[in-house]
Amino acid sequence: MTQFVLAGVLGLLFAFGTFLVLRRDIVRVVWGVTIIAQSANVYLVTMGGLAGTVPIVGHGPPADPSSVTDPLVQALVLTAIVIGFGTTAFALVLTYRVYEEHGTIDLDELGETGGEV
Amino acid sequence: MAPQVVIAPLLIALVTAILSLLLRRFPRAQRAVSLTGALAYLGGVAWLATAVARESILVYQVSAWQAPLGITLVADALSTFMLGLTAVVSLAAVVFSARYMSEYGQQLSYHALYHLLVVGVTGSFLTGDIFNLFVWFEVMLLSSYVLVVFYSGPEHTRAALQYTVLNLLGSAVMLLAIGGLYSTTGTLNMADMARRLANPAEFGIDPVPVLGIAAILFAVFALKAGIVPFQFWVPAAYRAAPAPVSAMLAGVTKKVGIYAIVRLYFTVFAAASLPAGLSLPGFAGDSFLAFFGPILFVMAAASIVLGGVGAVSRVDLDGVLAYSSIGQIGFVVLPLAIAATVPGVRELGIAAALIYALNHGLAKAMLFLASGTIREAIGTVRFEYLGGLARRTPVLSVGFFLGALALVGIPPLSGFFGKLLVFRTAADAGAVGGQGATLALALALGGAILTVAYFSRAWNEGFWGTQSEAVRTATYSPTLVAVVISLAATLVIVGVGFDPVMRAARAAAGAAVDRGTYVESVLPGGSP
């Protein structure tokens, strides 16, 4: 059951992210990219399987080693989240900079006012 | 030789980046460190290359965690070939930047960012793990975002916005593909993946979804390499970035996408084959490469045509160079497409692609640096303000002319052999009965004519004709001209002393298709 709910939510998140990326407002575009990146992270977590228990090694081996969820994907997701933080911060600063330079965050207007290098 | 030599170039670039960040208040010391670092990087790559030439493949397991559990760095002839290109272009670009970038720009950590870009590129060439490839890509991209927006004027912020958003989406897609590959094959290590894909039944792998995921991943690499239809960020980003950064972007980081395609699709995914019952419409054969061959071919054809036609109609030198770079990447991909489709010419095709990549890396880096020299002297590279440069600064013009000739493919420059090998691959493929070889030949010929057309236009408008006022009164920096000329000399040297380069490219192509050695070196005793 969980996997169907998760698949539906992931699909919705990707659709919503794509919808935002196609907006005219740059801030929404950045939000859209962030949402898509986060849904990619959630998707990555699901790749390790959802059936097992938490991958924590306590004292001694777990009763049934095969019941533990794959911890590797969670390590991967941590890396991807950190990278995502950095890139999102940069994208937001860049948005501010675009506003300073062009006086607008409307992508249509941006297409008209751009000067020559 | 201790395997630690594998990480030497990586460490050198990283230490240089950190030191130049610490020295940002002392511009002269920072420049000195940056130049020393670039030289040391060249030395480190040469050291690694000699070690690889002796032992054919070197594997470094980080913290001695054996693959496939740990992180693996692998250096073989293919990696060192690409690293060699990086080292040469990077050294020239650093020398150029030391004079070209203002003191204020240097305080803004230009050199630190630049060396972090080199770190990312080096890591991508050396990694033996797909998730680490993603991480190194991000290291490379994060620094390149900032370098593209470096001048932060209106045009630059706009170009950087487009570049950043596209690459962030590319990264998300790459993450999806990596997750899918992990889920379907159960591993992230490239050698382990090749071993498992060669034996799908034993490891319970269904090759059909792997093909789909490989195709998604392919789109990401095509985006990095700027192949049509993923080329639209290229012109704006290359024009916005400072000249030495454009030289690096066009010369080296584009080639990271090409390297990833060669490494993953010719070494790893080529191990797999599709079940016989599954016949895809329009594709012959059941190997993965037979699926990607026609796609690569169409993309190469579109790149050559679109890049060439786009370059003919540009109004400024940087625009011509940026569009030309789309067209030239088509020439790199074309032999790869043939190599993927026709197994008989696989090694030759990869060698041709690598030689062409080397030629384009050197020549296009040099042309962007030449354009930067002109911009520094005159303040613009729009053709309407140029004219008569050949009489005003003959040395620089000779450099530009050599670069243009190298991309057109005139002997004895390196470009001649690049073009020759592309034609030879197509002809050989035709001889062994490959389909579409005639079409490939016609395409390469048409592309070559387009190259002649846009470079003669650039030459006529910028370098011949009446001298404009701006050209007459400008003074050209001897240091910058010297860098351009040294790179131009490299083009001639590579062309005249082509034998060792050809041997290196052959070795690299051999390493790319020699899956058995790769798997056996990374996973001792694990080869099927």
What pairs with residue A106 in β-bridges? A25
R_g over Cα of chain B: 22
Min Cα distance A97 → chain B (Å) is 7
- Could you tell me if B455 and B408 are in contact, meaning their C-beta atoms sit under 8 angstroms apart? yes
**Element spanning B75, H or E:** strand B72-76
List, for residues B236-282, the tens digit of each pLDDT value.
999 999 999 999 999 999 999 999 999 999 999 988 888 876 667 76
Going by the DSSP 8-state scheme, the letter that residue A56 receives in this structure is -
Among residues B412, B386, B520, the alpha carbon closest in space to that of B464 is found at: B386
Q: Which residue of A has its CA nearest to B137?
A: A83
Give the list of residues 6+ apart from residue B15 with CB closer than 8 angstroms, or none. B37
Rounded distance, CA A88 to CA A42, Å?
17
Rounded distance, CA B215 to CA B225, Å?
15
Among residues B388, B364, B385, the alpha carbon closest in space to that of B484 is found at: B364
On the CB side of B211, CA atoms within 13 Å amount to: 18
Rounded distance, CA B468 to CA B389, Å?
9
**Element spanning B437, H or E:** helix B437-462
pLDDT tier at A116, thresholds 50, 70, 90: very low
Please tell me the predicted confidence (pLDDT) of residue B528.
47
Q: Do B175 and A26 touch (CB under 8 A)?
A: no
Q: Give me the sign of the Cα torsion angle B158, B162, B167, B169.
A: positive
Q: Do A44 and B154 touch (CB under 8 A)?
A: no
Tell whether A92 is within 8 A of chain B (Cβ): no
Going by the DSSP 8-state scheme, the letter that residue B287 receives in this structure is B
Q: Is the pLDDT of residue A115 over 70?
A: no
Tell whether A18 is within 8 A of chain B (Cβ): no
Min Cα distance B338 → chain A (Å) is 34
Going by the DSSP 8-state scheme, the letter that residue B468 receives in this structure is P
Count of C-beta atoms within a 10 Å radius of residue B241: 26
Min Cα distance B363 → chain A (Å) is 23
Tell whether A20 is within 8 A of chain B (Cβ): no
Q: Which residue of B has its CA nearest to A47?
A: B183
Q: Which residues does chain B have with pLDDT short of 50? A: 527-528
Report the Cα–Cα distance between both ends of chain A, in Å, rounded.
55
Report the helix count and the strand count for chain B, using DSSP H and E: 24, 2
What pairs with residue B57 in β-bridges? B76
Tell whether A6 is within 8 A of chain B (Cβ): no
Encoding tokens for residue B189? 């290590």
Residue with structure tokens 């690299």?
B508
Q: Do A117 and B161 touch (CB under 8 A)?
A: no
- Could you tell me if B259 and B82 are in contact, meaning their C-beta atoms sit under 8 angstroms apart? yes
Tell whether A33 is within 8 A of chain B (Cβ): yes
Chain A residues with CB under 8 Å of B164 CB are 87, 90-91, 94
Give one word for B380, left, alpha or beta, with left for phi > 0 and alpha for psi -120 to 50. Answer: beta
pTM for the full model? 0.93
Please tell me the predicted confidence (pLDDT) of residue B526.
57
Rounded distance, CA B325 to CA B228, Å?
11
Q: What is the ipTM of this complex?
A: 0.90
Tell whether A105 is within 8 A of chain B (Cβ): no
Rounded distance, CA B473 to CA B59, Å?
56
- B134, B154, B168 member nearest A33 (Cβ): B168
- B138, B154, B178 member nearest A102 (Cβ): B154
Among residues B79, B340, B80, the alpha carbon closest in space to that of B218 is found at: B340
Strands B57-61 and B72-76: antiparallel
Tell whether A74 is within 8 A of chain B (Cβ): no
Rounded distance, CA B491 to CA B468, Å?
30
- CA distances to A62, B95, B115, B298, B386 from B101, rounded to whole Å, are 59, 10, 15, 40, 23
In DSSP notation, B368-423 reads HHHHHHHHHHHS--BGGG---HHHH-HHHHHHHHHHHHHHHT-TTSHHHHHHHHHH
Min Cα distance A59 → chain B (Å) is 23
- B134, B157, B188 member nearest A97 (Cβ): B157
Is cis: bond before B68, omega within 30 of 0?
yes
Rounded distance, CA B369 to CA B365, Å?
6
Residue with structure tokens 């016949």?
B279
Please tell me the predicted confidence (pLDDT) of residue A61.
60
Among residues B141, B172, B157, B328, the alpha carbon closest in space to that of B248 is found at: B141
Min Cα distance A56 → chain B (Å) is 18
Q: Do B172 and A33 touch (CB under 8 A)?
A: yes
Print burial letters for B41-77: b (CB count within 10 Å at least 16), e (below 16): bbebbeebbebbeeeebbbbbeeeeebbeebbbbbbb
pLDDT tier at A114, thresholds 50, 70, 90: very low
Q: Which residue of B has its CA nearest to A42?
A: B176
- A33, A40, A94 member nearest B175 (Cβ): A40
- Could you tell me if B119 and B137 are in contact, meaning their C-beta atoms sit under 8 angstroms apart? no
Coil, strand or helix at B224: helix
List, for residues A10-62, the tens digit of each pLDDT value.
999 999 999 999 999 999 999 999 999 999 999 998 887 777 777 666 666 66
Q: What is the dihedral of CA B192, B197, B198, B204, to 10 degrees?
A: 110
Classify residue B452 by burial, with Cβ atoms within 10 Å: 0-12, 13-18, 19+.
middle
